[in-house]
């Protein structure tokens, strides 16, 4: 779900347990922005992702995304203060709605008054449906300097999600250069291929279906920044969503695409001349200080 990757597809395929992405951390940025069932962390590289600082004794907004299918269910958060993936020994209390459909879910997670060895803690999120995701964080009173927010960046030269070229999108902190954009684009393409090749997700992988799926996936990877009036810009509207489900024969996960939640295309176009209608809510997560 927006997110979502710093490493190339080749590296991902070789290192991570590749799965069809269904639920994953969005904020803080996970090591592997592809959803994974690899226990305990869903793969990925802790050394190539930003480390977000949280204030001790506060609540942090943590965003979990159910992308498709079997990613629903309660999410549990744990902490390793010794940055050891075999020692997620601190359970973190959290509040938030239980993910029961495709979408993004914000949790308020209690950050304990503790310190992280070498300034590095690992936070683990996992769902009852066995999707695992980890992120690197620090817990320090010096936390205000690193508020976490998606960063607006103008994109260009993407081969796959080319509809966002020359547009401003919102990306997690740390994705700042062209190589990273292109890697994220390659990941989006790999997600597309996985979905198209998975009959549990896409019943009829026609070319038209592929175009519709691309709209969803690219919107997820490169959500457009709000317009200058602050209005949310969306890439996928209700009719597009309905068409996607029909054309692609999305049967098994039908209930998980709540098309009625998206704006009607006519309204969306009236509101915004842009052709792009957002699929997932753009979350700008700011620490609760």
Ligand X SMILES: *[C@@H]1O[C@H](CO)[C@@H](O)[C@H](O)[C@H]1NC(C)=O
**Given 46, 56, 73, 203, the residue binding ligand X (CB under 6 A):** 56
Q: Measured between alpha carbons, how far is residue 288 from residues 55, 59, 73, 81, 145 in Å?
A: 9, 6, 25, 21, 13
Is the CB of 56 or the CB of 119 nearer to ligand X? 56
Instruction: Return d(Cα 24, Cα 286) in angstroms, integer.
Output: 19
Instruction: Return d(Cα 93, Cα 269) in angstroms, integer.
Output: 42
Interface characters, 23-42, with ligand X (x: CB under 6 A): --------------------
Q: What single string gives the DSSP state of each residue in 20-45?
A: ---EEEEESPPS--S-B--TTT-S--
Q: Does 144 engage in binding with ligand X (CB under 6 A)?
A: no
- Touching ligand X, residues 94-113 (CB under 6 A): 113
Q: How far is the CB of 84 from ligand X (least distance, A)?
A: 22
Q: Does 211 engage in binding with ligand X (CB under 6 A)?
A: no
Q: Measured between alpha carbons, how far is residue 142 from residues 46, 53, 139, 209 in Å?
A: 21, 8, 8, 49
Burial of 197: CB neighbours in 10 Å, binned 0-12, 13-18, 19+: exposed
Instruction: Return d(Cα 112, Cα 135) in angstroms, integer.
Output: 16
Q: How far is the CB of 67 from ligand X (least distance, A)?
A: 18
- Touching ligand X, residues 175-194 (CB under 6 A): 193
Beta-carbon contacts of 286 under 8 Å, excluding residues fewer than 6 positions away, are 61, 147, 148, 149
Give the count of residues interacting with ligand X (CB under 6 A): 5
CA end-to-end span of the chain: 26
Q: Does 57 engage in binding with ligand X (CB under 6 A)?
A: yes
Is the CB of 63 or the CB of 189 nearer to ligand X? 189
Q: Does 197 engage in binding with ligand X (CB under 6 A)?
A: yes
Q: How far is the CB of 9 from ligand X (least distance, A)?
A: 12
Is the CB of 248 or the CB of 278 nearer to ligand X? 248
Q: How far is the CB of 40 from ligand X (least distance, A)?
A: 26
Q: How far is the CB of 216 from ligand X (least distance, A)?
A: 19
Binding site for ligand X (CB under 6 A): 56-57, 113, 193, 197
């Amino acid at each position: 779900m927006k997110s979502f990757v710093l490493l190339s597809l080749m590296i991902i395929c070789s290192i991570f347990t590749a799965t069809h992405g269904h639920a994953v951390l969005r904020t803080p940025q996970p090591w592997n922005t592809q959803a994974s069932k690899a226990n305990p962390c869903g793969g990925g590289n802790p050394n190539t992702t930003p480390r977000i600082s949280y204030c001790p004794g506060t609540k942090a907004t943590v965003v979990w995304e159910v992308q498709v299918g079997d990613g629903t269910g309660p999410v549990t958060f744990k902490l390793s203060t010794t940055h050891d993936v075999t020692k997620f020994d601190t359970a973190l209390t959290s509040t938030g709605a239980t993910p029961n459909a495709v979408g993004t879910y914000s949790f308020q997670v209690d950050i304990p008054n503790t310190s992280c060895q070498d300034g590095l803690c690992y936070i683990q999120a996992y769902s009852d449906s066995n999707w695992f995701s980890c992120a690197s964080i620090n817990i320090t009173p010096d936390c205000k300097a690193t508020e976490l927010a998606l960063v607006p960046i103008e994109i260009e030269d993407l081969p796959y999600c080319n509809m966002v070229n020359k547009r401003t999108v919102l990306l997690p902190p740390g994705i700042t250069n062209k190589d990273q954009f292109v890697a994220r684009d390659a990941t989006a393409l790999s997600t597309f291929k996985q979905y198209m090749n998975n009959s549990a997700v896409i019943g009829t992988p026609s070319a038209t279906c592929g175009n519709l799926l691309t709209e969803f996936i690219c919107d997820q990877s490169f959500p457009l920044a709000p317009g200058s009036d602050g209005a949310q810009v969306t890439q996928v509207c209700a009719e597009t969503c309905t068409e996607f489900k029909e054309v692609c024969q999305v049967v098994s996960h039908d209930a998980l695409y709540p098309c009625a939640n998206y704006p009607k295309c006519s309204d969306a176009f009236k509101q915004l001349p842009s052709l792009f209608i957002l699929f997932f809510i753009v979350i700008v997560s700011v620490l609760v200080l």
